[in-house]
Amino acid sequence: MFYWHLLRTSIRSSISLRGVFLLETFLMVGNNFIFFILWWIFFRQFNDIAGWTLREMSALLAIGIGAYGLNQIFCGGTKRLSNTIVSGELDAFLTQPKNVLLHIVASKSYGKGWGHLLTAIILVFLEGLTDLPTLAILALGLICGCLVFTSAFIMAHSLAFWMGPIDSLSRKYCDSLYVFATYPTHIYSGLLQTTLFTLIPAGVISCLPVELLRSFEWKTFALLLGSASLFVFLAFLVFNLGLRRYESGNTFTPRA
């Protein structure tokens, strides 16, 4: 309940400047569709990539971009986590009798996330991915993708507990995960394939749901749910282990 109240406040804050919010949303949709043009040109040239056509690619983009949007809307606090740790701003969260990680995660919401989400919705309608089973799988993919994005971001930023100021590295890891999640991951093999389902879990975010769309199998379904749950568990584990090493920054940071 606390999480939802906090989230509601964060979301209200992110959309309070209506003009800026609408401009960001509109430009983010434009930005994503300019990227989509690249893929349209690509598939115009090659028709398919290892069996995937523009339809599968659109589903992948809808899930990858949409899940990232959900992360920015509902779990935006992960974006600056390493900075929060290093600067000692964690003190403000630790003094309150609520779950620290949930508090941090819901403490910020980014308006541009709505632009990503809107892009996903437009892509779904544009490619006619609108029958009920497809929509259900897409929704599941979006939720699991958001959880995996959030968990991976938390783990990457939590390394600051051990390694100090690694903000730029953590951010590049997060960028790389987003980039991988918006490219087809089924074409890789060997060690890279393993990496994309573990260290950089882009495959879990976008490849598994698209494979489910192509042909539903309970094994893939269980793999998707199991992987998302495992990543959430690991995120809590890594953060709490790191928290034991945290030392106060002795800084006063008012939070309105």
Partner 1 sequence: VHAVRNYRALIGLSVFQMTCLLIFAYLWKVAAARQGALNLSADDLLWYIAFNECVLIALPDLPDTIEQDLRSGRLAYLLPRPISYLGATFAEGLGTLTVNLMVLGIVGVLFTWARIGSFPFHPLCLIPMAALSLLAGAVAMVFQMIVGLSAFWIKEVSPFNWIWERLLFVFGGLILPLSVYPEALQNIAKLTPFEPILGGRSGLVFNFDLAPFLAVVGTLVCWGLLGGAGLYWIYRRGLRIVNIEGG
- Using the rule CB under 8 A, give the single segment among 5-13, 46-54, 89-97, 248-256 that binds partner 1: 46-54
Binding of partner 1 at residue 103 (CB under 8 A)? no
Q: How far apart are CA 70 and CA 67, in angstroms?
A: 5
Nearest to partner 1 of 176, 240 (CB atom): 176
Contacts of 247-256 with CB under 8 Å at 24 or more apart are 248/88, 248/91, 249/87, 249/88, 249/89, 249/90, 249/91, 250/88, 250/91, 251/87, 251/88, 251/89, 251/91, 253/88, 253/89, 253/91, 253/92, 254/92, 255/92, 255/107
Contact pick of 68, 114, 173, 197 for partner 1 (by CB under 8 A) = 173
Q: Which of 47, 95, 248, 250 binds partner 1 (CB under 8 A)?
A: 47
Count the site residues for partner 1 by CB under 8 A: 38
Instruction: Compute CA 177 distance to the chain's CA centroid, rounded to the nearest angstrom.
Output: 9
Residue 127 binding partner 1, by CB under 8 A: no
Instruction: Give me the residues that bind partner 1 (CB under 8 A), please.
Output: 17, 20, 23-24, 27-28, 30-31, 34-35, 37-38, 41-42, 44-47, 49-50, 112, 165-166, 168-169, 171-173, 175-176, 179-180, 183-184, 187-188, 192, 200
